[in-house]
Amino acid sequence: MGNRLLEKYQDVIKSIKESTGIKIVSVEEVEDNQAFLAVKEEFDLRFSFFDVNSPISYEYSSINSVVDMKKGGKLKTHNYVYFSFPDNSHLRFSPHGKDGLEISRVWVNPNNLGMGIGTLLMEYFFDVVGDTLGEIPELYLECTGSIGYGDNKQDSPISKQTAFFRKFGFRVKDGSQYPVYVSMTRQKEVLEKQGEQQEPSNNEVDLSDKLPF
């Protein structure tokens, strides 16, 4: 399977090597799961109500992402949901395993660092996922000491990244490759029902008074 996928994506792997210097040694094709599809449909519904003045934009697509590790790079191909604020600060998530989600990027505009934007991205993510599923499924993420590529690349020490995600209940799963790579997980959390379930609405989470721009 491993060799077959390396061969299947050989052109992509070659391009990554030429543009980043990262040698891909493994490839993972990630399949959609029910939790991801349900949250994606909720985003579809909420953003069908949003107008051009909405403080949030949304995108659903597929991507090849790269995780640089001690023994070489890992190429992951997967679908994703991406939402962003007016300054282009954004969060991207994908399916993970049988019924989990992976946060594959939390990127904050360098001009607005230290203003709580990363926390607002995470809070909005948790609000939508919780409202949709009635629980927060198992969450997974990988810290590599940088965020994004090209013009959007930001260097960020893994110790700083893990400290940020610990605030939201994540704990280190694999720290054997620190300080190059660390994976983190957050256990499944069933949420208490509060009154009757209401119809989903784009007004459930109003960020207009929270964003500092």
Q: Strand pairing partners for 146?
A: 155
The per-residue pLDDT for 149 is 64
pLDDT digits (tens, 9 = 90+) for 100-153: 999 999 999 999 999 999 999 999 999 999 999 999 999 999 999 888 666 667
Q: Is 130 helix (H, G, I), strand (E, B) or coil?
A: helix
The per-residue pLDDT for 205 is 55
- Six-digit token string for 76: 């992951």
Q: Smallest Cα–Cα separation from 66: which of 115, 16, 7?
A: 16
Q: Strand pairing partners for 189?
A: 136
Q: Are 100 and 78 in contact (CB under 8 A)?
A: no
Q: What is the DSSP letter of 136?
A: E
Domains of the chain, each with CATH number or no CATH = 2-190 (3.40.630.30)
- The CA distance from 61 to 77, in Å, is 11
pLDDT digits (tens, 9 = 90+) for 175-205: 999 988 999 999 999 998 765 555 544 444 5
pLDDT digits (tens, 9 = 90+) for 7-31: 999 999 999 999 989 999 999 999 9
Q: Strand pairing partners for 136?
A: 189
